[in-house]
Amino acid sequence: MALDLFSAVNLGSISLKNRMVMAPLTRNRAAEGGVPQPMNVTYYEQRASAGLIITEATPISVMAHGYPALPGIYTDAQVAGWKKVTDAVHAKGGKIVIQLWHVGRISHPTLLPNGALPVAPSAVKPAGQAFTYQGLVDYVEPRALDANELPAIVADYVHAAQSALAAGFDGVEIHAANGYLIDQFLRDGSNKRTDNYGGSFENRARFLMEVTKAVVDVAGADKVGIRISPVNPFNDMHDSNPQALFNYVTSALNQFNLAYLHTIEGDMSGQDNSFDFVAMRQLFKGSYMANLGYDKARGNAAIASGHADVIAYGVPFIANPDLVERYRTNAPLNEADSSTFYGGTEKGYTDYPFLSA
């Protein structure tokens, strides 16, 4: 039988009823203290027909924050809030993993404890502006991390992974994409270090490998995924040789027998088409999740050809809580209202109609 979006599949120890994944989508609607609230429970529960939900990116510590109203995964109250989400998704027969996030330099002192400077591999100020409670403000030059500070950040990832399992998640995804801390170490546009964490591919990938090993040790490799974005320029990112770098990273990740590798296949601004994602994917021995610009037809084709095992969908899941059923029956899709993507109320969050309505 030919495989398609509606076939069951296992990602590590996580069994999926279909191959449609809800991508991680920042929505800035957590309650005080970074605690998930009732409307967050409703939002995820509505989308439990996805084969797998990946939560919005979730800071692993107070220093990991870079935007307002984000949920965290490092306090007891946050764990309790997320437990209501995972219980609701599981009650509907869904599976859910949490995306573990440290933003690095993509933050601002007003978002950090005691007005601290954001941290990064190197003191390279990103172009652009931070989204703060006071509105948009220019990024500041971050503070370069000392190598002896990195074990404490690895420990924050471990604590967050343990907290996620306590909250009932089926697994965790390490966010190593889109210009945040781990990606800042990987790409040489942001990593100017001359120690064991800079220069060669091996050195720039060292922090990712240390985080991955530590998280795998506490969660189990069969419950851990990684997200990468080899050519996405978001957050002022670039690299001098992305193909060679990410071919190296992908091959190096094979040592962990991860649940999956989640790749943003291209440049979200649509400029760079030079990267060979097929070649990179062929280096990875585990399950592969493809993301960026997929619709039903492209998703089915990628699965049928063996390029991808699962397909991640973002905006379509925002506007269509029942996207799986709509694709299955070739029903029309709701249009997404981009003005309500970030922050706000239930409007544009939990009020999109289901087909059955």
Q: Which residues are catalytic?
A: 180
262 phi, psi to nearest 5 deg? -110, 115
Query: What one-character-per-residue DSSP string does 61-111 give?
Result: SGGG--STT---SSSHHHHHHHHHHHHHHHHTT--EEEEEE--TTS--GGG
Q: Compute the distance between CA of residue 318 and CA of residue 316 in angstroms, rounded to an integer.
A: 5
In SS3 terms, 266-285 reads as CCCCCCCCCCCHHHHHHHCC
- Distance between CA atoms of residues 22 and 45, nearest Å: 12
**Surface-to-core class of residue 85, CB atoms within 10 Å of its CB (0-12 exposed, 13-18 middle, 19+ buried):** buried
Q: How far apart are CA 346 and CA 52, in angstroms?
A: 23
**Residue recorded with tokens 């954001």:** 118
Q: 261 with 225: CB under 8 angstroms?
A: yes
In whole angstroms, what is the distance from residue 121 CA to residue 140 CA? 14
Give the span between the Cα atoms of 347 and 91, in whole angstroms. 24
In three-state secondary structure terms, 223 is helix
